[in-house]
Chains A and B, each alone.
Chain A
Amino acid sequence: NAGVMQNPRHLVRRRGQEARLRCSPMKGHSHVYWYRQLPEEGLKFMVYLQKENIIDESGMPKERFSAEFPKEGPSILRIQQVVRGDSAAYFCASSPADTGTNSNQPQHFGDGTRLSIL
């Protein structure tokens, strides 16, 4: 009964490199959310995806950041040309679709990926 799986747990990159963070939602969940947690701050919403669709990307920086949730495989958060300010913990959450008795389902969180930029 696996929960939300994120990998890697820790990722170290040098400035200018690319970072790829993966998230496999809980079984049966079709909605994925990405959040960023900066030191001493709460989680900030980045993007909400369903299979093959970006529903809300209002929290994504306009440049260098992208996200996808393909028909097969995990959701990927991609950061190009990383900078020191990208150092943070990135959390993924998933929920089932709101249908009938499953309406208003809470989001279940993964363990996060801690990204460190040298």
Chain B
Amino acid sequence: AQSVSQHNHHVILSEAASLELGCNYSYGGTVNLFWYVQYPGQHLQLLLKYFSGDPLVKGIKGFEAEFIKSKFSFNLRKPSVQWSDTAEYFCAVKGPSSASKIIFGSGTRLSIRP
């Protein structure tokens, strides 16, 4: 069955700390991988995506993620978080065609202490 697991439901960090949010997926065949962010009261915004090529992808606002095919993982990282990074983060997976639906993880709430 297709699924996405985000093991950390709530992460609390201090400003300037390093961040890594875990994401594991189960999906047969070629996958496209995404991280979306949802700031309080706002819609989902795309942070970064992986379709093919370099498994280390860089996104907006200093975020990056690494696709490790052997581990079925796509963890999100940021070397130094800011208070403005407080939000909910969703990992998602999708098949290669436009007819493929996005499957989301349950999300990780990130709280940054000023």
Contact = CB atoms under 8 A, between A and B. Distances in A.
A57 to B, nearest CB: 10
Given A42-B104, A48-B99, A91 B44 contact: yes
A41 B105 CA distance: 8
Nearest to B44: A109
User: Most B CB atoms within 10 A — which of A58, A59, A98?
Assistant: A98
User: Most A CB atoms within 10 A — which of B44, B96, B107?
Assistant: B44
Interface of A: 4, 31, 33, 35, 41-45, 48, 55-56, 58-59, 91, 93, 95, 97-98, 104-112
Given A42-B107, A43-B90, A112-B43, A107 B102 contact: yes
A4 B106 CA distance: 23
A111 B43 contact: yes
Contacts of B51: 104
A95 B34 contact: no
Contacts of A107: 102
Given A104-B32, A106-B34, A111 B104 contact: no
B49 interface: yes
Nearest to A30: B98
B106 A106 contact: no
B103 interface: yes
Interface in B4-20: 4, 6
A58 B101 CA distance: 10
A31 B90 CA distance: 22
Chain A to chain B: the 4 pairs with minimum beta-carbon distance, closest first: A98-B98, A109-B44, A42-B104, A42-B106
Contacts of B43: 4, 91, 109-112
B46 interface: yes
23 contacts: A4-B43, A35-B104, A42-B4, A42-B104, A42-B107, A43-B90, A45-B101, A48-B101, A56-B99, A58-B101, A91-B43, A97-B98, A98-B97, A98-B98, A104-B96, A106-B34, A106-B46, A107-B102, A108-B46, A109-B36, A109-B43, A109-B44, A112-B43
